Amino acid sequence: MFWCAFVVFFLALGNELHLSHATEVSVNNTENKLCLYANLMVNFTVTYEVGVNKSETVLFVLPENVTTEGSICNNTTSTLKLGFGDGHSWAVEFTKDNKTYQVDSIVFTYNLNDSSVFTNSTSNETKSVTAKPRITNVGVDTYYSCKSENVQRVESVTQTLYDVTLQAFVTNGSKSDTDTVCTADLTSTTVAPTTTVTTTAAPTSTPTPTLPTPTTGNYSIAPDFNSTACLMATFGLRIGFKQGDKVETINLVPSATEVGGACGVNSSILILTSDTIDIMFTFSNDSKKFHLHALNVTVKPATGVAVVAANTNMSIWVAAVGSSYMCNKEQTLTVTETLTLYTFKLRVQPFGVEKGEFATAEDCGDDTTGSWLVPIAVGVALAVLILIVLIAYFIGRKRNQGSSYEHF
């Protein structure tokens, strides 16, 4: 067994929001050779007790400052352990056979006595939850790659992993250039390259059917089963995505969608998961205004490659904290060059929800612009009418004066 004696770690911030850290860690063994590598993003949501039959949910991430004390490199087992904050840690357990390795478990340990994270907690315990992610059959001397979200829910804890790169049992002292891609990022079935099939008849093409307007879904997040909503959203959602040179569209079906997420003081998350679409909305609160800051989207079409897109530097759906944002008209949101969102009859309030009801709405620019068109048009028409009346009056008066002069 090789205990890690030398550790080099460095972290790159995705952007200014604390929910977008990309944590890159390199662990060396006693021979000063790389034995473990990770570059990933992890969000945590934890529900904890703050009083009798009362709980709160906090949202935080794997932070910038971590330690790797307790990380272990061995021939058949390895552990990557990242410590942070006041008594928190996140540990990944690996095992290896002859040709492949896998993640057996992820152990997240959190200290409820850390008041900087768990405000007003009635407990000072340190708790641990163990998740069993499906990270298997990773080829030796390759790294595991998965851009899609991997959501692990255990008891009162939700861990969301995305943009993950992991390599254990490094044998040549440097990270491999070859990857083992997760199933979510791969095709659901093997599809040959698109070809044109010709017959004795003239070739025909079937036009892509026009999708109906998406069904409006109502989504909400509550701290626990006994609480009213702390985040509310209602909208219809369509996603346009590229498959090679072809653009396809798909609607989110509310009745086949699971809702998850968490409410925080400065950040709130809404996660929608179906067989075909996984999407995470991240909202930011600067105490005066809230806005949609980040989108992480995975589309899993019936055929073809899964499309993964993320944009963590957005500033849309802006409204005052304590109000809701509304846009009844269709909105087009370009997430990346390969993926676009279309929303219909949108209304969202990620902070300051009271009694499970939307607060007064601030309309989007399109709605506001549309609402001003009618009064502006009426005002212009009235101005023109007044001008015509004045011209007619002066013309009539001049004629009357001319007639009086000739008569005299």
Q: Which of 33-47, 49-63, 346-360 has the lowest mean pLDDT?
A: 49-63
Asked, for residue 398, whether it belongs to a domain, the answer is no
Taking residue 253's Cβ as centre, other Cβ atoms within 10 Å add up to 15
Residues 6+ apart with CB under 8 A from 171: 140, 141
Q: What are phi and psi of 171, to 5 degrees?
A: -110, -20
- In this structure, the answer to whether residues 179 and 263 fall within a common structural domain is no
Q: What is the pLDDT of residues 99-143, one digit of tens each?
A: 999 999 999 999 999 998 898 899 999 999 999 988 999 999 999
Q: Give the count of domains, the chain.
A: 2
Q: What is the pLDDT of residues 209-261, one digit of tens each?
A: 578 999 999 999 887 666 789 999 999 999 999 887 888 999 999 999 999 88
> How far is residue 310 CA from its own chain's centroid?
7
pLDDT computed for residue 21 by the predictor: 56
Identify which of 332, 324, 344, 342 has the alpha carbon closest to the alpha carbon of residue 235.
344
Return the bridge partners of 283, or none: 268, 292
pTM greater than the 0.85 cutoff: no
Asked, for residue 212, whether it belongs to a domain, the answer is no
- In this structure, the answer to whether residues 130 and 76 fall within a common structural domain is yes
Identify which of 107, 87, 224, 229 has the alpha carbon closest to the alpha carbon of residue 156.
224
- In this structure, the answer to whether residues 66 and 10 fall within a common structural domain is yes
* Longest distance between any two alpha carbons in the chain, whole Å: 125
Q: What is the pLDDT of residues 142-188, one digit of tens each?
A: 999 998 888 888 888 888 888 899 999 998 889 999 999 988 877 43
- In this structure, the answer to whether residues 260 and 132 fall within a common structural domain is no
pLDDT computed for residue 380 by the predictor: 66
The domain in which residue 315 lies consists of 217-366
Evaluate if residue 76 carries a pLDDT over 90: yes
Please measure the distance between the N-terminal and C-terminal CA atoms of the chain and give it in whole angstroms: 125
Q: What percent of the chain has pLDDT over 70?
A: 82
Q: What is the pLDDT of residues 271-319, one digit of tens each?
A: 998 889 989 898 988 889 999 988 888 888 877 777 888 887 889 999 9
- In this structure, the answer to whether residues 14 and 58 fall within a common structural domain is yes
Taking residue 242's Cβ as centre, other Cβ atoms within 10 Å add up to 14
Q: Which of 69-78, 120-129, 272-281, 365-374 has the lowest mean pLDDT?
A: 365-374
Helix, strand, coil percentages (3-state) for the chain, rounded to 5, are 15, 50, 40
Asked, for residue 32, whether it belongs to a domain, the answer is yes
Asked, for residue 384, whether it belongs to a domain, the answer is no
Q: Which of 140, 159, 184 is the last residue of a domain?
A: 184
Q: What are phi and psi of 373, to 5 degrees?
A: -65, -45
Assess contact for 283 and 293: CB atoms under 8 A: yes
Evaluate if residue 338 carries a pLDDT over 50: yes
Asked, for residue 404, whether it belongs to a domain, the answer is no
- In this structure, the answer to whether residues 274 and 348 fall within a common structural domain is yes
Asked, for residue 23, whether it belongs to a domain, the answer is yes
Identify which of 4, 228, 76, 262 has the alpha carbon closest to the alpha carbon of residue 156.
262
- In this structure, the answer to whether residues 362 and 288 fall within a common structural domain is yes
- Which whole number is the average pLDDT over 313-336? 93
- Which whole number is the average pLDDT over 193-210? 38
Q: What are phi and psi of 262, to 5 degrees?
A: -160, 155
- In this structure, the answer to whether residues 16 and 161 fall within a common structural domain is yes
Per the prediction, the chain carries an average pLDDT of: 81
CATH of the domain at 160: 2.40.160.110
- In this structure, the answer to whether residues 169 and 249 fall within a common structural domain is no
- In this structure, the answer to whether residues 245 and 304 fall within a common structural domain is yes
SS3 state of residue 270 = strand
- In this structure, the answer to whether residues 55 and 178 fall within a common structural domain is yes
Confidence band, pLDDT 50/70/90 cuts, at residue 12:
very low
SS3 state of residue 211 = coil
pLDDT computed for residue 165 by the predictor: 93
Assess contact for 235 and 243: CB atoms under 8 A: no
- Which whole number is the average pLDDT over 48-69? 83
- In this structure, the answer to whether residues 169 and 44 fall within a common structural domain is yes
Identify which of 348, 341, 264, 328 has the alpha carbon closest to the alpha carbon of residue 295.
341
pLDDT computed for residue 379 by the predictor: 67
Asked, for residue 344, whether it belongs to a domain, the answer is yes
Q: Which residue has the higher pLDDT, 191 or 115?
A: 115
Asked, for residue 341, whether it belongs to a domain, the answer is yes
Q: Which of 168, 184, 200 is the last residue of a domain?
A: 184
